[in-house]
Structure 1
Amino acid sequence: MPEMFTVLPPAEALKVLFDHLPLEIREESIATAEALDRVLAGELTAPSSLPSFPRSTMDGYAVRAEDTFGATESLPAYLTLIGEVPMGHASALAVGPAQAAVVFTGGMIPPGADAVVMVERTQKLDAETIEVLRAVAPGENVIHVGEDIQEGEPLFAAGHILRPQDLGGLMALGITDVRVAARPHVAIVSTGDEVVPPEQEPGPGQVRDINTYTIAGLVARAGGVPEIKGIIKDDYSSLLSAARSALEAADALVISAGSSVSTRDLTSDVMNELGKPGVLVHGVAVRPGKPTILGVCNGKPTIGLPGNPVSAMVVAGLFLTPLLQRMQGLKNPPAQRRETARLAHNISSVPGREDYVQVRLVEREDQLWAEPVFGKSNLIYTMVKAEGMVCVPLDSNGLHQGEQVEVELF
């Protein structure tokens, strides 16, 4: 008689897993140019101010603002040109009273000047004299030293995920290497006597392996490194040997189990044999994905996924993604992309479990509608055809047609 499992709500199940998992973040140093989407291992502060010299934001003339006060088109200010500030070089000029120097966008403001007059607001009288047709205020059209960032100012906290603009900001300060959390390596073992590799033509009663590749994609998207360990038959000793070898060489283990109760028990037995404390959660109040198994074996997380592809993806999104974020020390995970839409059909449920239903989004009568893509959890194309999922809350009997719902986008 197979052992009956007691289900836990998803949030509670995740907490049980985290409570038994030591928080040890491995670090490594990598080139900033290769650090996109990596998680910082420590706080960064600015080693210098940016910009390090005052710069012009316009093509024009560097001036003392007070020399332009009161200037108008009918009563211009007359200034003497003393030369041009070359781009990429320090200025050899100094602007004195009633003087001006030619500057270009991004160029250095010469000593003595505190503003820039746009070239469009001037008129050249001769090679040595310009008319200023509008007054400028001190600091106008000038970027000051440290206006972007001050030396010693905090840049990013530990646990920050680096975005494209962050890489640019680091490079601007000469930070060409950063300490980041190492990517967790996740071993993925697929099981089932009926499962064959995708490149193989399935025989009668056989199916191609789907879960290995959907889970590998989710691992990579969450910042991990998927380690594909192949397909293991539904045999205890074979699965135990493969799982032990896979877990020893990785930071976490995912076993995609078969659909029957017997294979779920096989996964549970193997996980209990891999190390203490073993299985922590066997059953989660979620549909699809109820027979989920969560465990920790000698300090490493192990997850037993249902064999059906939709169930496996839903469960991986609920547990594997936040697990990998935690293993990298990510403080503020990227917000789930969501859309608000009206539900096109009723969705039934029962209190005590969370239901995840795939939906496609369509525009009708200037409104966004969520159309459920109904299908059994072993049909991968219910996910392929959908653009997101709607969650029916734990305490709900279902959702009604026309109701406003939040769609979690894939």
Structure 2
Amino acid sequence: MELFRVVTLAEARQLLSRYWPLKGRRKEVLPLLAALGRELARPVTAQDDIPGFTRATMDGYAVRAEDTFGAAEGEPVILQLVGEVPMGQPATVAVGPGQAVSVATGSMIPEGADAVVMVENTEIISGDRVAVFKPVAPGQDLVRRGADARAGACILPAGHILRPQDLGILAGLGVTRVTVYEPWRVGILATGNEIVPPDEEPAPGQVRDINSYTLAGLAGRSGAAVTLYGIAPDDLETLVTRVKQAMAENHLVLLSGGSSVGTRDLTVRVLAGLGQPGILFHGVAVRPGKPTVATVAGDRMIIGLPGHPVSAMVVFRILIEPLLKYGGYDHPSGRAAVTARLSRTVTSIPGREDYIRVRLEEGPEGLLAVPVPGGSSMISSMVWADGLIVVPLEEEGLEAGTLVEVHLF
């Protein structure tokens, strides 16, 4: 069987995007707090204005702004105090020419007023007169009705991932339950005769299962519901049975394969027989992570990841995390990075994207990105790193001193 049919990272993303989001996700209605981090299945439309009335944002006096024009420390404007609007009460008094009404932060602005003078810029000079020492502009220190949300407006679209601030505006709208999608279900199966569970003592030539746990952590952090399916030996019949079990119970199945050519070939044989449309690609022009294979069978996606821990984590980060977390590769939150100066030159081979592990240090001219040594089999190199930098596909490397974007873990 052909071992590699290599595509670029951009091509791999394009192929996966044709089938994502996968079909078959259930919808459920949850109370607000239980919906944090979940994906909206329906848009949310405001039924009312927020706020429902124009309100003050400072303690002071509601006034007609034009009545304060020309006010100064040495020549204040004198206004007649005609009432007060207590917090949480409707305004029962109006502001006319030359008048002011006392308000607190959050008070309703009375009819006729279009600004608030902060109490610090005023002085009571008698029981019913207030001196204004500083002019205000229309709209100053107040929030108009509907400034946060207008009735009938779409506040949050379908597909939006709910954040704490989103729960706040929904609560303000009186929305206490929302319709969301169930989390993506992700099954993880480790493969290889040399892999043993973490609670076992490895025999000579064996290693403990690292990838199931790093991948489970990454998928869980991306909002998925994760199930581990243990370790399958390098046996075709067993592997097919275990993969089909995971497919029946999950939307996405991740196989963490052994590092040998024979094991990789076995994984491809299994994936090729799962159904249509079949294998999308076998090999991605990145380092680490080249021997990655992906297939779609019906409404299920199966991705075979390299056996080396660093390779598996890097591929998850650049191919899988954006799908689980943001629904695609173009979401602006997926591009968060810090800028740093490369501490030393790194080399690469044109024709592949290199993902270099770096740690961040403070240098004399700002942040330094310091490459972390270690091969793709060394999980410790990921532990000591703060993020990844990318050597582009066509470059032979990056010179020391180059400004780079560090994509943080």
Aligned to 1:238: 238
Aligned to 2:406: 407
**Alpha-carbon distance in 1 for matches of 2:148, 2:402:** 46
Q: 1:307 to 1:65 in 2, by over 3 A?
A: closer
**Alpha-carbon distance in 2 for matches of 1:22, 1:124:** 64
Matches within 5 A, 1:12-31: 12-19=11-18, 23-24=22-23, 26=25, 27-31=27-31
Shift of 1:185: 0.4
Is the counterpart of residue 264 in structure 1 residue 277 in structure 2? no
RMSD: 2.7
Secondary structure of the corresponding residue to residue 335 of structure 1: helix
Q: Which has the larger displacement, 370-379 or 90-99?
A: 90-99
Verify the 8 A CA contact 1:160 1:332 in the aligned structure 2.
Answer: no
Verify the 8 A CA contact 1:338 1:408 in the aligned structure 2.
Answer: yes
Q: 1:4 to 1:113 in 2, by over 3 A?
A: closer
Verify the 8 A CA contact 1:160 1:330 in the aligned structure 2.
Answer: no
Q: 1:384 to 1:85 in 2, by over 3 A?
A: same
Counterpart of 1:358, as a letter, is R
Counterpart of 2:243, as a letter, is A
Shift of 1:342: 3.2
Secondary structure of the corresponding residue to residue 334 of structure 1: helix
Counterpart of 1:9, as a letter, is T
Verify the 8 A CA contact 1:387 1:409 in the aligned structure 2.
Answer: yes
**Alpha-carbon distance in 2 for matches of 1:185, 1:83:** 61
Aligned to 1:277: 277
Q: 1:407 to 1:130 in 2, by over 3 A?
A: closer
Shift of 1:216: 1.2
**Alpha-carbon distance in 2 for matches of 1:64, 1:392:** 60
**Alpha-carbon distance in 1 for matches of 2:403, 2:124:** 64
CA offset digits 1:275-308 (Å, max 9, x no partner): 2233232222222222111101222110001111
How many residues are aligned here?
408
Gaps spanning 5+ residues in structure 2: where?
none
Is the counterpart of residue 212 in structure 1 residue 212 in structure 2? yes
CA offset digits 1:313-354 (Å, max 9, x no partner): 11112222233257x478725132323333333323222222
Shift of 1:184: 0.8
Q: 1:263 to 1:150 in 2, by over 3 A?
A: same
Shift of 1:64: 4.2
Is the counterpart of residue 35 in structure 1 residue 35 in structure 2? yes
Give aligned-pair identity as a percent: 50
CA offset digits 1:90-129 (Å, max 9, x no partner): 1333445554432111111233433333323333244444
Verify the 8 A CA contact 1:284 1:291 in the aligned structure 2.
Answer: yes
TM-score, normalising length: structure 2:
0.89
TM-score, normalising length: structure 1:
0.89
**Alpha-carbon distance in 2 for matches of 1:290, 1:56:** 60
Shift of 1:8: 1.6
Q: 1:72 to 1:22 in 2, by over 3 A?
A: closer
Verify the 8 A CA contact 1:77 1:133 in the aligned structure 2.
Answer: yes
Matches within 5 A, 1:53-68: 53-65=53-65, 68=68
**Alpha-carbon distance in 1 for matches of 2:150, 2:407:** 39
Counterpart of 1:45, as a letter, is T
Is the counterpart of residue 190 in structure 1 residue 190 in structure 2? yes
Verify the 8 A CA contact 1:39 1:330 in the aligned structure 2.
Answer: no
Aligned to 2:101: 101
Verify the 8 A CA contact 2:258 2:264 in the aligned structure 1.
Answer: yes
CA offset digits 1:232-264 (Å, max 9, x no partner): 222222222111111101111111111111111
Verify the 8 A CA contact 1:161 1:330 in the aligned structure 2.
Answer: no
Secondary structure of the corresponding residue to residue 376 of structure 2: coil
Matches within 5 A, 1:296-311: 296-311=296-311
Counterpart of 1:368, as a letter, is L
Q: 1:403 to 1:63 in 2, by over 3 A?
A: closer
Shift of 1:65: 4.4
Aligned to 1:345: 344
**Alpha-carbon distance in 1 for matches of 2:217, 2:173:** 34
Q: 1:339 to 1:116 in 2, by over 3 A?
A: closer
**Alpha-carbon distance in 2 for matches of 1:284, 1:133:** 69
Verify the 8 A CA contact 1:21 1:300 in the aligned structure 2.
Answer: no
